[in-house]
Amino acid sequence: MRGFFFDMISQKTLFLNLLAQTTQAPLLLEIERADGVVLYGTHGEQYLDLISGISVSSLGHGNKAVINAIEEQAHKYLHLMVYGELVLTPQVKLAEVLSQFLPFKDQTSVFFTNSGSEAIEGAMKLAKRATGRAEIIALKNAYHGSTHGAISLSADPYYTDFYRPLLPQMRQIKQNSIEDLDYITTDTAAVFVETIMGEAGYLPSNQEWLKELRNRCTQSGALLVLDEVQCGMGRSGTLFAFEQYEIQPDILVLAKAFGAGMPLGAFISNKETMSVLSTNPILGHISTFGGHPVSCAAALAGFVEITERKLWQNAKEIEREFRSGLMHPALQQITGRGAMLGIELPTQVKCLEFVQHSIESGVLIDWFLYAPHKVRLSPPLVINSSEIRQACEIMNNVAEKIF
């Protein structure tokens, strides 16, 4: 009888009543299945997915290699022991393949986590422990996650004021400001930077500035931490965005697309730096589910797909086709790089109106936390030219109606 009662209530009502809400106006789309770049609603609705679960589903939905890897690993074993104690083949294989594409001077050392926020937390602890310093510098309007330490890197009072006191000895500097680099001193443990800023509206760093930042960190002994949670895994036009700047991080943070649709993050450094977390005290950082074997199996399959197919090349073509296909004058101020583009609109109100009408017309798009006047385009890297043309036509038509 109780089950029948719940069957009579709509899923949307149960969603609103039983699940903790993050906004007062969720999208409330009920998706039954997804395939490739298309999401299918419960009543036959179809949506072209241009946000990939916020830069997660870079291989689209239903990738066979990833699904097969998940199924194969699930039949072998699921969780066995907290991270770092047992030799789990999916973790070892993923770290081995990943290391072939990373530039660290010494042997690559990977610490797997459940998410990007957790990876940032681990990177913060690692930087403090490795340098013996306390000050951490980040960029204004940066977004590194929503856990307490991660939001301490943010300067936006709207998202932080109600959670104070935050971590002490945090400083924010401006992206692309050479003058602000003077704040990096021998008191600085690390500088955290999104190579291409995400929630600020997809803003690439200047080549000169990022190279000088690398130099200042080297000179002062501060660690350069590159957060490539959104811009990594081919989305920027190279496998890792920092490759375009001819620099190397001291710590690299990955998540989102790294897990190929499964929850997985990582902070990565060289063996010498990472070793400090294992002594004085032992268990300097620990995670129960970090590097879950099923997530690592999926991530390995996804990583092989991206690297063997060189999908970062698709990102460059995606950028070209969207920039040329968005014909309406209101849609032609575009920032970003590769398959991470931000369309500037006159106001936040117009942006929300444009997003809503686009979704109703069959294109799923979104806005940015720190740039609510901009539309986010972050499609799967497997989107084809026909799908891009269809999406552009819909968005051009929506713009014609509301501008």
pLDDT digits (tens, 9 = 90+) for 94-115: 999 999 999 886 699 999 999 9
- Residue 280, sorted as left (phi over 0), alpha (psi -120 to 50) or beta, turns out to be left
pLDDT digits (tens, 9 = 90+) for 29-77: 999 999 999 999 999 999 999 999 999 999 999 999 999 999 999 999 9
Q: Which fold has domain 64-308?
A: Aspartate Aminotransferase; domain 2 (3.40.640)
Neighbours of 218 (CB within 10 A): 12
pLDDT digits (tens, 9 = 90+) for 307-364: 999 999 999 999 999 999 999 999 999 999 999 999 999 999 999 999 999 999 999 9
pLDDT recorded at residue 4: 46
pLDDT recorded at residue 1: 40
pLDDT recorded at residue 116: 98
**In Å, how far are 137, 140, 396 from 248, measured between CA atoms?**
18, 22, 40
Listed by start position, the domains of the chain span 20-62+310-402, 64-308
Q: What share of the chain is helix, strand, coil (3-state, %, to 5)?
A: 40, 20, 40
pLDDT digits (tens, 9 = 90+) for 354-399: 999 999 999 999 999 999 999 999 999 999 999 999 999 999 999 9
Q: Quote the Cα angle for 235-337-148, to 5°.
A: 65
pLDDT recorded at residue 98: 97
pLDDT recorded at residue 342: 98
Same fold, 20-62+310-402 and 64-308: no
What architecture (CATH level 2) is domain 20-62+310-402? Alpha-Beta Complex (3.90)
Least confident of 16-30, 204-218, 255-269: 16-30
- Is the pLDDT at 5 greater than 70, yes or no? no
What is the value of pTM for the model shown?
0.96
How do 251-254 and 363-364 pair as beta strands? unpaired
Confidence of residue 289 (pLDDT cuts 50, 70, 90): very high
First to last CA, the chain: 52
How far apart CA 292 and CA 246 sit, in angstroms, is 33
Arithmetic mean of pLDDT, 185-208: 98
For 161-238, where are the alpha helices, taking DSSP H only?
207-220
Give buried/exposed letters for 96-124 (b at 16+ CB in 10 A, else e): eebeeebebeeebbbbbbbbbbbbbbbbb
Phi and psi at residue 204, to the nearest 5°: -70, 145
Arithmetic mean of pLDDT, 273-291: 95
pLDDT recorded at residue 9: 76
- The mean of the pLDDT values for the chain is 95
Confidence of residue 27 (pLDDT cuts 50, 70, 90): very high
* Tokens 């500088």, residue located: 191
Confidence of residue 188 (pLDDT cuts 50, 70, 90): very high
Arithmetic mean of pLDDT, 167-194: 98
